[in-house]
């Protein structure tokens, strides 16, 4: 066996399903391949290829279209084309073109067949049910497996340090070094000679060894830096780093990875991490006496998301934690408003909708809320609620929960109504469903009472659920809405990406990933008359009903957790890099393995949308 085709073997080894093959088998594979080159704009599969084979894209890009010419997917490096080995019709159904000059490997079907027969893990890629693959994938995105909460016991040093390494050369003057530290707003400075770690300068060194000692600030920094250094590794657990620091009585440790300094961890990083814990935040919020304090606490929410993700939290855990903080801020704003304005003229219920109701918020969610009044107000009484709503919604806006773009807020008189009016609203939506109106109103079908001392909400909710579960036309309309946003997956299990514009070559994880599942969960819950609003709980509650099988529900739960977790992780990376969080993910940023799982999740959503559509004959209304 020639080992010179190592490069090709390594390529295969890093892409699923080949990563599941033992090394000695992988080593024999390159010799079984045929290589073809297709110019940009060539037909795919090539017409002069007579024997069916598995196509593996080595270099380039291929667009796949269905018979009507609609773009259904795109193959990127490392992707395999739908296997013509199972069914030659698949191959004939593709009308692909190469969108770049492409180099393609062909693996004969006969070899593929043998591998599938012999290696179950490899075969699983082709015949394992989508759901099984997905379930095992969830653990892999939550980096270190499912972990409840966040603590220094589980977080790694590398996730606590910033991206930028601030350093200076030993001959830098003390004054210059101080300026660098002040500009970078850091309490320590790494001293590097070319690529070698030479020392560490801290604020304390500046004080004790320069200012207090009367040393000229024009002297080189090497005269006052600490030279004998203890370091820590990037993979060290947070609490171990903390133990090291207290044992050595130092406040800073350079962090090393592969022999290179990658940053500095300080005791304040560790303390800050602890304080970003949602428990600490909620405690601070309860004690806050003014808006300014609340705003300062709310600023830590992005940090909370970063740390939760870093310590392996799932999307659900992140959503629950962030919503807990939002709820606390919202409640405290209501308390502060009532303290300013005096007690309300009569009882009311502060309702929240959308992601806050579902306990599925992430950093940068907007607000949706409404007021349910115990009775019809006089103009004077309405003025009170008007002021209360304005104070709370503006306060939320200041805290980063921006005003709802659709004005679904308690400050809008339309959404500040007594029970009788709310009843009429819902009756109208449910019994005379108009598609456009329903779209806007869908936020009200995820509704939760946040502040409701007199329990006004229960009777409204009971009535809503009775009506929705009895009204098939309404459910059909909701179902039609729920299947409007299709996952970005072509017929051949390839990503369909946004093209051009600001989000070129990405897909929208929220609109095309989590929203379709959340929408489906809502339809099932309303149809079954279930009061839960959290999507996972809704799916668990309806599992095993006529509308949704136990497997179907479990699969949707897994898909939601997987996509949601990729989403919070994507956002955490953005927040950590100092960018605004969004939902636009490029498939290139996923590992080949994750890309495969992503496709599985999308395929699963699409098939359950299909089922939902058929069940409620949603097509009639869409």
Partner 1 sequence: MKNDVLLEARRRWTIYNLPFGPLRDCYSHPLPRANLDYRDTDYLALDLETTGLFPVKDQILSFGWVPIDGNRIRLEGARHRLVRAAQPISADSAVIHQITDDQAAEGEPLKDVLADCLRALGGRVLVAHHARIELGFLAAACRQLFGQEPLLRVVDTLALARRSLERRQQAYRPADVRLHALAEHYNLPQLAAHNALSDALNTAQVFLAQSAYLDTGKPLLLRDLLT
Q: Which residues bind partner 1 (CB under 8 A)?
A: 2, 4-5, 7-8, 11, 30-39, 42, 48, 58-60, 100-103, 106
In angstroms, what is the minimal distance from the CB of 59 to partner 1? 5
Residues counted in the chain = 622
Return the SS3 of 81.
coil
CB 54 within 8 A of CB 109: yes
CB closer to partner 1 out of 17 and 60: 60
If one counts every other C-beta atom within 10 angstroms of the C-beta of residue 456, the result is: 20
CB closer to partner 1 out of 9 and 524: 9
In angstroms, what is the minimal distance from the CB of 112 to partner 1? 15
In angstroms, what is the minimal distance from the CB of 106 to partner 1? 8
Write down the residue that tokens 């604020």 correspond to. Answer: 203
CB closer to partner 1 out of 4 and 183: 4
In angstroms, what is the minimal distance from the CB of 62 to partner 1? 13
Q: Which two tokens stand for residue 245?
A: 């620091």
In angstroms, what is the minimal distance from the CB of 498 to partner 1? 23
In angstroms, what is the minimal distance from the CB of 36 to partner 1? 6
In angstroms, what is the minimal distance from the CB of 545 to partner 1? 52
In angstroms, what is the minimal distance from the CB of 71 to partner 1? 21
CB closer to partner 1 out of 80 and 320: 80
In angstroms, what is the minimal distance from the CB of 97 to partner 1? 14
Please provide the distance, in angstroms rounded to a whole number, between the alpha carbons at the two ends of the chain.
60
Beta strands 43-44 and 71-75, pairing class? unpaired
Q: CA 72, CA 64: separation in Å to the nearest integer?
A: 6
Return the SS3 of 612.
helix
Return the SS3 of 74.
strand
Q: Residue 288: which residues within 8 A CB-CB, separation 6 or more?
A: 294, 297, 332
CB closer to partner 1 out of 11 and 401: 11
Upper half-sphere CA count for residue 380 (Cβ side, 13 Å): 2
Q: Which two tokens stand for residue 540?
A: 């668990």
Crossing angle of helices 291-298 and 379-398, in 10° steps, is 40
Proportion of the chain in helix, strand, coil states, percent, rounded to 5:
50, 15, 35
**In Å, how far are 253, 254, 501, 538 from 263, measured between CA atoms?**
9, 6, 36, 44
CB closer to partner 1 out of 34 and 459: 34
Write down the residue that tokens 């390529």 correspond to. Answer: 11
CB closer to partner 1 out of 31 and 196: 31
């Amino acid at each position: 066996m020639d080992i010179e085709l190592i490069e090709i073997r390594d390529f295969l080894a890093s892409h699923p399903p080949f990563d599941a093959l033992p090394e000695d088998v992988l080593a024999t594979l390159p010799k079984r391949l045929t290589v073809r080159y297709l110019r940009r704009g060539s037909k795919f599969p090539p017409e002069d290829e007579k024997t069916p084979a598995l196509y593996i894209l080595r270099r380039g890009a291929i667009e796949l279209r269905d018979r009507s010419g609609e773009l259904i997917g795109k193959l990127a490096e490392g992707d395999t084309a739908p296997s013509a080995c199972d069914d030659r019709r698949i191959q004939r159904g593709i009308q692909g073109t190469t969108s770049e000059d492409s180099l393609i490997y062909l693996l004969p079907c006969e070899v593929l067949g043998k591998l599938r027969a012999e290696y179950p893990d490899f075969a699983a890629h082709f015949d394992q049910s989508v759901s099984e693959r997905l379930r095992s994938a969830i653990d892999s995105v939550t980096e270190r497996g499912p972990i409840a909460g966040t603590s220094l016991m589980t977080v790694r040093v590398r996730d606590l340090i910033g991206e930028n390494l601030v350093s200076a050369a030993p001959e830098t003057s003390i004054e210059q070094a101080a300026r660098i530290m002040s500009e970078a707003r850091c309490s320590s400075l790494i001293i590097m000679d070319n690529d070698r770690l030479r020392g560490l300068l801290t604020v304390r060194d500046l004080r004790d060894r320069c200012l207090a000692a009367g040393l000229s600030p024009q002297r080189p920094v090497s005269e006052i830096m600490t030279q004998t250094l203890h370091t820590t590794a990037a993979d060290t657990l947070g609490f171990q780093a903390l133990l090291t620091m207290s044992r050595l009585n130092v406040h800073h440790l350079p962090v090393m990875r592969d022999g290179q300094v990658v940053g500095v961890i300080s005791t304040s990083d560790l303390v800050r991490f602890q304080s970003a814990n949602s428990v600490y935040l909620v405690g601070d919020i309860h004690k806050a006496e003014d808006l300014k304090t609340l705003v300062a606490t709310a600023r830590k929410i992005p940090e909370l998301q970063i740390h939760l993700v870093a310590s392996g939290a799932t999307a659900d855990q992140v959503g629950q934690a962030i919503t807990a903080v939002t709820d606390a801020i919202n409640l405290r704003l209501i308390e502060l408003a009532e303290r300013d304005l005096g007690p309300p003229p009569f009882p009311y219920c502060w309702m929240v909708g959308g992601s806050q109701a579902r306990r599925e918020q992430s950093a940068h969610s907007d607000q949706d809320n409404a007021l349910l009044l115990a009775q019809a107000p006089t103009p004077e009484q309405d003025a009170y609620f008007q002021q209360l709503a304005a104070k709370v919604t503006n306060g939320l806006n200041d805290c980063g929960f921006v005003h709802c773009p659709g004005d679904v807020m308690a400050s809008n008189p339309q959404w500040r109504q007594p029970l009788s009016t709310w009843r009429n609203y819902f009756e109208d939506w449910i019994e005379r469903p108009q598609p456009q109106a329903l779209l806007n109103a869908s936020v009200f079908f995820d509704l939760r009472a946040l502040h409701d001392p007199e329990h006004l909400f229960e009777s409204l909710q009971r009535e809503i659920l009775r009506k929705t579960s009895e009204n098939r036309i309404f459910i059909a309309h909701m179902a039609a809405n729920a299947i409007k946003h299709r996952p970005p997956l072509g017929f051949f299990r390839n990503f369909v990406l946004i093209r051009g514009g600001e989000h070129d070559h990405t897909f929208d994880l929220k609109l095309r990933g989590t929203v379709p599942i959340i929408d489906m969960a809502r339809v099932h819950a309303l149809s079954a008359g279930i009061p839960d609003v959290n999507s996972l709980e809704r799916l668990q509650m309806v599992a095993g009903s006529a509308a949704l099988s136990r497997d179907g529900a479990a699969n949707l739960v897994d898909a939601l957790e997987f996509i949601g977790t990729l989403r919070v992780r994507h956002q955490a990376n953005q927040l950590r890099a100092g960018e605004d969080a969004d939902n636009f993910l490029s498939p290139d940023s996923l590992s080949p393995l994750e890309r495969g799982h992503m496709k599985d999740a999308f395929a699963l959503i699409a098939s359950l949308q299909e089922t939902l559509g058929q069940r409620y004959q949603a097509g009639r209304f869409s």
